[in-house]
Amino acid sequence: MTTYYTKDHEWIAVAGDTGTVGITDYAQGQLGDITFVELPEAGATVKQGDAPCVVDSVKAASDVYAPVSGTVTEANEALADAPELVNTEAESGGWLFRLTLADAGELAGLMDRAAYDDYVKGL
């Protein structure tokens, strides 16, 4: 599994043609305590840059952008009862949704962990 990152602080862990999407630890830290997550429906088609998900926190509501295009296959239903998982497990159990990639070539425009860490240091 390879993980990629966006400048909008999303991550996508890719295994084969399936990607698991979430927000980074940096993003959850900026948002503060997560109070609600609006997840996309399975079967929804998203294009790279679309905002299929919204994360509400004590500070603000924030769109979550699709790092790549694809079809949503699953949403993390555990977040309905425990949205705080996005805070405590941002880059693992607090994942938001899974999708089938429409164009794996879109991954080439994303960052690896080292590039993302350098990007965050510059903020």
Domain that holds residue 8: 2-103+110-121
- Domain count of the fold of the chain: 1
Residue 49: what pLDDT? 97
pTM of the model: 0.97
Q: What is the pLDDT of residues 71-108, one digit of tens each?
A: 999 999 999 999 999 999 999 999 999 999 999 999 99
Residue 13: what pLDDT? 98
Q: What is the pLDDT of residues 11-58, one digit of tens each?
A: 999 999 999 999 999 999 999 999 999 999 999 999 999 999 999 999
Residues near 109 by beta carbon (within 8 Å), at least 6 away in sequence:
none
Ordered DSSP codes for 51-105? --EEEEESS-EEEE--SS-EEEEEE-THHHH-TTHHHHTTTTTT--EEEEES-GG
Q: What is the CATH number of the domain that holds 28?
A: 2.40.50.100
**Token duo for residue 68:** 């790549």
Residue 114: what pLDDT? 98
